[in-house]
A = this chain, B = another copy of it.
Amino acid sequence: MDTALRALAEPRRREILRLVWDRERAVGEIAASVGVSQPAVSQHLQVLREAHLVSDRRDGARRLYRARPDTVQALREFLDDYWTSGLSQLRDAAEAAEQSKRSKRRREH
Which residues on A are within 8 Å of B, measured CB to CB?
2, 5-6, 8-9, 11, 18, 21-23, 67, 69, 72-73, 75-76, 79-80, 83-84, 86-87, 89-93, 107
Contact = CB atoms under 8 A, between A and B. Distances in A.
Contacts of A67: 86, 90
B8 A92 contact: no
Contact of A21 (B2, B72, B90): B90
Given A5-B9, A6-B9, A22 B92 contact: yes
Nearest to A90: B69
Query: Chain A: interface secondary structure?
Result: helix
Contact of A18 (B80, B86, B90, B93): B86
Given A72-B83, A76-B79, A76-B80, A90 B11 contact: no
Given A9-B5, A9-B9, A76-B79, A69 B87 contact: yes
Given A67-B86, A72-B87, A90-B69, A11 B22 contact: no
